[in-house]
Amino acid sequence: MKAAVITFPGSNCDRDLAVALQNAGAQVARVWHKDQTLPEGTDLVAVPGGFSFGDYLRCGAIAAHSPIAGALRLHAERGGYVLGICNGFQVLTELGLLPGALMRNTGLTFLCKPAVLNVVTADSDFTAGYAKGQQITIPVAHHDGNYQATADDLAQLRDQDRIAFTYGPAINGSVGDIAGVLSANRRILGMMPHPERAADPALGGTDGAALFRSLVAGVVNA
Q: What is the DSSP secondary-structure string of 192-206?
A: SS-GGGGSBGGGTB-
Contact present, 7 and 63 (Cβ < 8 Å) = no
Catalytic residue among 59, 75, 86, 142: 86
3-state DSSP call for residue 85?
strand
Catalytic residue, from 33, 75, 142, 194: name it: 194
Is 13 part of the annotated catalytic residue set? no
Cβ atoms within 10 Å of 128's Cβ, excluding its own: 17
Structural contact between residues 78 and 70, judged by C-beta atoms closer than 8 angstroms: no
Which of the following is catalytic: 13, 59, 142, 196? 196
77 part of the active site: no
d(CA 159, CA 169): 23
How far is Cα 140 from Cα 96, in angstroms, rounded to an integer?
23
**Residue 44 β-bridge partners:** 3, 81
State yes or no: is 40 an active-site residue.
no
Active-site residue set: 86, 194, 196
